[in-house]
Structure 1
């Protein structure tokens, strides 16, 4: 039979005997702090601390370990049933549980045993039957745990978020003075960084850039790899910014989680707008995949040129051989259809293409080709803005729902305690649901922040792409000698099919 519960002041009468329950996850110092606080509190009220009734669940998480699996808590309940003490003292509610249901479960068991539990830090009766305030407090215990984790994580990154250097080796291209806490450029390395960004903008892959650095720039001192190139390309340090959350275990994280802060001691090698444009190229390439062999081929019309008669794609054959330092043979395009015996020297077709077709193609398609990347950025920006608009609408709806629940709960607080007791389960569920919706709204706000950051990134990239240097970095060479790989990429962008006749003449349209 459940006994009538004592009040807070009735429990803390002189010479009453107290058991002590504590729980800590990792740090024993936390337990000692709990015990010291409880001992001082009991002494203040002339109550007796029972040394032989200390129940300590060490190395136990309230989130991961349910009540029934906590050995010391079970011993405490067994001793309470035998009336071996007058009440239980805990440091704080969250030592019992983080979950609303478990709080209610333990409180109910203690009340049925007539065993009061005092929360020392709160200076209140944990086993109070005031349903509404208790349900709110239990729900907030869970939410506080979530917020503590987030705040701790944020604190570790706060220096980076303020643009402060947290130590370590300066990125390639810079040196760091520990005394003045400033960065300076390394002249030779700066030029290499500029070339790396330029090559990437012109379409080279990481492995290709490694080769070009080692051969064209004769930099054999550094240990170059595709990962090193990637870390340079994706680092906003070169635009003057420190980032938090960028790397996890030396691997790039989702850019939505990055936090940028300008560091005035960093002399930018490239403007932020240019870096943003490069990152858009990187992310597009990463999502679509990239096959270097498609571009790095001596057959510049491969996968484009077809036989005029049977409409098949021409095959390619490399019959070049080097004997005694001399080169023999040639490159050929040929049709493997039984109906045709088409076989043409590649160099003749290439010369015809560059002399007869390419000038007109460039004249008619240059504007479209130059703006292709920019147009895609603008489409991406519009999609982001549409998503932001939809998410704002959803956030507004959740806020209305939260406000309506708040009004209803305020009305219920004004009712008699007895009526609230009857609706306890419903009210507890409603309070917990309200806390859940608030967390959902917070996540929406976070997502809006990330989308807004992405929109700003796209704005910077578009600004750079539409600037006076656009033609320079988009790279559309006029001859094969300018850049073989880029020449091949340009052709694939300008045309999808060509037809060749027996004389080696090329046609954009089919000739019957």
Structure 2
């Protein structure tokens, strides 16, 4: 429903808020309500609050005051954060909504910018979906208090991560987070090793024995460091699942805010870079042995005839005297084409070295132009998705209007209402799906801007590129993957190296 037809400029309303415990705060509810009212040029003339009062309590003074004022017609509308602030039991919702419906006083939910209307309650009851909806709301609102703290960069509880010590205000007069020097040096080593493409287990094996607060390092302890933005100076909540062993949630579910309390040991761009490496490995975009391979051109070398990737195969054998026979080869399984791996490596290295002297400024420009091209493509995709989202949103609004008409007409059959209800749910799922995809693409743009296009991070890669030791195969492999997009081989064994960015113009 279009709220502009209800919240016309100049109307006066009251805000009703409630939270269950004295540890919770009303900030989230109030902020949301005032932002919505300001949007429609209306005013809130009174705040009626039930602080630290359970919705199950029958005699809520604030709630009774709200009903009394409604009968006196002291305001034009009521604004609440969400319907869970009113009650948990469906019957109580029905009674309250029916009362306000008779008094012709609309109730607005600021969280969803929707009308908390009488007809929609009946619709939900018919669908028998109230119980699940209420449970979901309870979960959301329990987290809102912690979210308010996190959004202010304040401490949200628990022990400080490895490398830090937290002292509450009541103990020292000032709330503070301090660095533990010996531990933080180990944290820096963890990040350095990870940026050099070492895995969690490999890093754990390279750490001093029993140096993790008196315990041995393992892959979970390394993972906890790499995936925690605390080290970049950010408070975060909702990062992990409660009942799953060290499992990280989707970033879209996190609440993550900069905190003045935390002395950061790396920039947020550096942390995002490490996070992207973690996600690529987790989603199998980067296989476990992606970097640790003697076949430097794996996942890069393509057959010109069939466009298939060539795979490495070691056909060497060693005699009893230690002499090596045979060769390492790259094979195209479709064309049965073979190329000597050492020859392919030597050719690629020559091309690689020919570009090592390119001026840093020119390479940075080439990299950033490449990233900007990807950003523009994603923005175009977002425009298409937003148009589809808008169409589904319009269909949803029409469906809601049709449902409202059904409740006003006495002869409407329950089956018809149920069909409309199912349609509404499907449209709502589509709308949410589009919103999620759009948000993911916006997050990708944010990463490209802050990390891939970041000059200092590009310079770090270029320092490796321009001073690479040809004896370190793992480092060289990582650089090949960064510099080359693909390498095409033809029947004659000639290689054509395609760079990820335009280094020819930078030469």
TM-score w.r.t. the length of structure 2 is: 0.54
Tell me, yes or no, if structure 1 residue 233 matches structure 2 residue 226.
yes
Unaligned regions of 5+ residues in structure 1, if any? 1-29, 38-90, 101-118, 124-132, 414-419
Is the Cα contact below 8 Å between 1:175 and 1:183 reproduced in 2?
yes
- Asked which structure has the greater CA Rg, the reply is 1
Is the Cα contact below 8 Å between 2:330 and 2:339 reproduced in 1?
no
Specify which of 125, 128, 148 is matched with residue 134 of structure 2: 148
Aligned to 2:200: 206
Tell me, yes or no, if structure 1 residue 433 matches structure 2 residue 420.
yes
Equivalences for residues 318-337 of structure 1 within 5 A: 319=318, 333=327
Tell me, yes or no, if structure 1 residue 260 matches structure 2 residue 256.
yes
Specify which of 138, 149, 173 is matched with residue 122 of structure 2: 138
Aligned to 2:451: 464
RMSD over aligned CA atoms reads 5.5
Alpha-carbon separation, structure 2, partners of 1:92 and 1:276: 40
SS at match of 2:178: strand
Mean Cα displacement is larger for which, 255-264 or 355-364?
355-364
Query: How far apart are residue 247 of structure 1 and its match?
Result: 0.9
Aligned to 1:197: 191
Equivalences for residues 171-186 of structure 1 within 5 A: 171-178=161-168, 179=171, 180-186=174-180
Query: How far apart are residue 168 of structure 1 and its match?
Result: 2.3
Query: How far apart are residue 276 of structure 1 and its match?
Result: 3.1
**Residues 320 and 356 of structure 1: CA distance in aligned 2, closer, same or farther (over 3 Å):** farther
Alpha-carbon separation, structure 2, partners of 1:312 and 1:287: 21
Alpha-carbon separation, structure 2, partners of 1:186 and 1:382: 47
Can you list the C-alpha shifts for 1:426-457, whole angstroms capped at 9, x where unaligned?
Answer: 5x854983697389549836963774375146
SS at match of 1:251: coil
Larger RCO of the pair (alpha carbons < 8 Å, separation 6+): 1
Alpha-carbon separation, structure 2, partners of 1:312 and 1:121: 67
TM-score w.r.t. the length of structure 1 is: 0.54
Specify which of 151, 160, 167 is matched with residue 146 of structure 2: 160
Specify which of 247, 260, 266 is matched with residue 270 of structure 1: 266
Query: How far apart are residue 252 of structure 1 and its match?
Result: 1.3
Alpha-carbon separation, structure 2, partners of 1:380 and 1:211: 40
**Residues 445 and 435 of structure 1: CA distance in aligned 2, closer, same or farther (over 3 Å):** same
SS at match of 1:390: helix
SS at match of 2:162: coil
Aligned to 2:307: none
Query: How far apart are residue 485 of structure 1 and its match?
Result: 0.8
Aligned to 2:393: 395
Alpha-carbon separation, structure 1, partners of 2:277 and 2:156: 29
Q: How many residue pairs get matched?
A: 366
Specify which of 356, 359, 362 is matched with residue 353 of structure 2: 359
SS at match of 2:465: coil
Is the Cα contact below 8 Å between 1:477 and 1:483 reproduced in 2?
no
Aligned to 1:496: 487
Can you list the C-alpha shifts for 1:289-343, whole angstroms capped at 9, x where unaligned?
Answer: 444445324564679899xxxx99774537599x9xxxx7669736799xxxx99
Aligned to 1:14: none
**Residues 192 and 458 of structure 1: CA distance in aligned 2, closer, same or farther (over 3 Å):** farther
Query: How far apart are residue 150 of structure 1 and its match?
Result: 2.6
Is the Cα contact below 8 Å between 1:318 and 1:331 reproduced in 2?
yes
Unaligned regions of 5+ residues in structure 2, if any? 1-53, 61-86, 100-116, 303-309, 332-337, 497-507
Query: How far apart are residue 358 of structure 1 and its match?
Result: 3.4
Is the Cα contact below 8 Å between 2:396 and 2:428 reproduced in 1?
yes
Query: How far apart are residue 153 of structure 1 and its match?
Result: 0.6
Alpha-carbon separation, structure 1, partners of 2:311 and 2:353: 26
Specify which of 278, 284, 287 is matched with residue 283 of structure 2: 287
Alpha-carbon separation, structure 1, partners of 2:374 and 2:425: 36
Aligned to 1:247: 240
